[in-house]
């Protein structure tokens, strides 16, 4: 279970103007084009201006008609960027996993920071306090088990909001909300849905995957997963690839353990090949299993030593599969294997003193497989991925393979 925080500054540009110009405080401030120019839009406006029905992206002429007494200012990009850097510096004090969404908004994965700070709620509170101390500006914060829920949560009690979505009460939080809150629901989709009586996210969830697909087509399944509170996208720092993963959707849902294992092997092989191609190894392996009802299980493990070998990744993928306790009770539609915690290769090989004799033997085995893997990569780079398949990747009875 992850803890994701979404931080969004309140009326950012307008708040910076009110911060730098105390005489603007408590007044309608509209940042954007000059009204006398007759063209252009509102970039941001203060909460006082919103009371006049002004909002961002509105033509500036309409804003001026609604509130001629407002304070109209042109944006000062350099100043906003300067404050943005301070805000993101604060985020960096709580986690390395920060994904900027815009100048005043970002996702933080604080899962690994909980042991230092306590709960997600505590971290959210601390971030708000620190941002205010450093910049004098107010942020709204959402804390949730995934990005989608965190983003909705930060918007719920704006301004100066702090909203925590309890992982055990996701539906209570999500289902009463209007359908437009779902990412990817525009006016058209909303109309289509409301003509069928679907107005809240809960209404959509209650249709079931098939019901949603019947109305919206395959695109509807993504919305259905969001309506079920599911979103497994990672916080992407953008600095480098954090993970390499592959997944496969079966042609029909399957409860066949051999088929699932074969898929895990094929995926492990693909992932290992990509790791070696990228010149990295992984210290973490995770698997993902999505069943016929679209609920998703993920399991991850941290390895003792980094690897880029099919056999090792597959070994852990199988261990994770057995950890789920699944023995063919339900059918899966999709499986995935991901190498996370990518690391530069060779770290463990350059420190042989760390190994006792048993591990040294294991190391030799790994080195041997490493050389075999290199040969495989060489052949593949010349003749394509299909040129070499491990025995059990070939469909059908392995004994019949020529």
Q: Which residues bind Mg ion (CB under 5 A)?
A: 8-9, 12, 104
Task: Compare residues 128 and 242 and give the one whose CB is closer to Mg ion.
Answer: 128
Write the CA distances from 175 to 178, 204, 295, integer angstroms: 8, 9, 17
Task: Compare residues 14 and 223 and give the one whose CB is closer to Mg ion.
Answer: 14
In degrees and rounded to multiples of 5, residue 343 shows phi and psi of -140, 155
Q: Torsion angle, CA of 362/299/148/282, rounded to 10 degrees?
A: 0
Task: Compare residues 158 and 262 and give the one whose CB is closer to Mg ion.
Answer: 158
Question: Measured between alpha carbons, how far is 254 from 260 in angstroms, rounded to an integer?
Answer: 8
Residue 97 Cβ vs Mg ion, minimum distance, rounded to whole Å: 20
Residue 158 Cβ vs Mg ion, minimum distance, rounded to whole Å: 9
Task: Compare residues 154 and 310 and give the one whose CB is closer to Mg ion.
Answer: 154
DSSP per position, 217-251: -THHHHHHHHHTT---PPPP-SSS--EEEEEEEEE
Quote the DSSP letter at residue 35. G
In residues, how long is the chain?
A: 402
- SS3 at position 357: helix
Task: Compare residues 43 and 205 and give the one whose CB is closer to Mg ion.
Answer: 43
CA nearest to 49, candidates 35, 68, 33 = 68
CA nearest to 64, candidates 75, 76, 52, 74 = 52
Question: Measured between alpha carbons, how far is 306 from 282 in angstroms, rounded to an integer?
Answer: 5
Question: Measured between alpha carbons, how far is 247 from 265 in angstroms, rounded to an integer?
Answer: 11
- Determine the residue with CB nearest Mg ion: 8
| CA dihedral (227, 231, 235, 236) positive or negative | negative
Residue 87 Cβ vs Mg ion, minimum distance, rounded to whole Å: 11
Residue 289 Cβ vs Mg ion, minimum distance, rounded to whole Å: 37
Task: Compare residues 104 and 231 and give the one whose CB is closer to Mg ion.
Answer: 104
Residue 54 Cβ vs Mg ion, minimum distance, rounded to whole Å: 16
The residues assigned a catalytic role are 105
- SS3 at position 283: strand
Residue 47 Cβ vs Mg ion, minimum distance, rounded to whole Å: 12
Write the CA distances from 267 to 106, 122, 292, 317, 377, integer angstroms: 32, 39, 20, 10, 15
H-run or E-run covering 30: strand 29-32
Place of tokens 């404050």: 83
Residue 139 Cβ vs Mg ion, minimum distance, rounded to whole Å: 8
């Amino acid at each position: 279970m992850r803890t994701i925080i979404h931080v969004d500054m309140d009326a950012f540009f307008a708040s910076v103007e009110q911060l730098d110009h105390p005489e603007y405080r408590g007044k309608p401030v509209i940042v954007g084009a000059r009204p006398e120019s007759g063209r252009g839009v509102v970039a941001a406006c203060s909460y006082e201006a919103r009371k006049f029905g002004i909002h961002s992206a509105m033509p500036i002429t309409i804003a001026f008609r609604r509130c001629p007494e407002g304070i109209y200012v042109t944006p000062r990009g350099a100043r906003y960027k300067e404050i943005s850097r301070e805000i993101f510096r604060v985020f960096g004090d709580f986690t390395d996993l920060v994904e900027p969404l815009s100048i005043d908004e970002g996702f933080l994965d604080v899962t690994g920071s909980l042991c230092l700070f306590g709960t997600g709620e505590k971290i959210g509170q601390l971030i708000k306090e620190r941002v205010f101390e450093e910049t004098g500006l107010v942020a709204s914060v959402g804390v949730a088990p995934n990005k989608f829920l965190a983003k909705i949560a930060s918007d719920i009690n704006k301004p100066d909001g702090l909203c925590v979505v309890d992982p055990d009460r996701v539906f209570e939080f999500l289902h009463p909300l209007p359908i437009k809150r779902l990412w990817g629901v525009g006016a058209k989709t909303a109309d289509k849905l409301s003509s069928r009586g679907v107005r809240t996210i809960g209404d959509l969830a209650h249709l079931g995957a098939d019901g949603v697909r019947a109305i919206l087509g395959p695109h509807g399944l993504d919305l259905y997963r969001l309506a079920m509170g599911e979103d497994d996208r990672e916080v992407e720092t953008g600095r480098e690839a954090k993970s390499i993963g592959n997944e496969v959707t079966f042609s029909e849902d399957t409860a066949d353990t051999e088929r699932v294992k074969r898929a895990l092997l094929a995926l492990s092989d693909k992932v290992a090949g990509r790791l070696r191609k990228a010149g990295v190894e992984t210290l973490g392996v995770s698997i993902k299993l999505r069943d016929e009802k679209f609920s998703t299980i993920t399991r991850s493990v941290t390895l003792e030593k980094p690897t880029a070998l099919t056999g090792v990744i597959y070994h852990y993928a199988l261990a994770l599969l057995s950890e789920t306790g699944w023995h063919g009770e339900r059918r899966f539609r999709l499986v995935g294997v991901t190498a996370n915690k990518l690391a530069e290769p060779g770290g463990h090989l350059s420190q042989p003193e760390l190994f006792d004799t048993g591990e040294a033997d294991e190391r030799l085995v790994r080195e041997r497989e490493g050389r075999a893997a290199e040969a495989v990569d060489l052949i593949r780079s010349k003749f394509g991925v299909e040129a070499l398949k491990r025995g059990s990747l070939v469909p059908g009875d392995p004994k019949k393979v020529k």
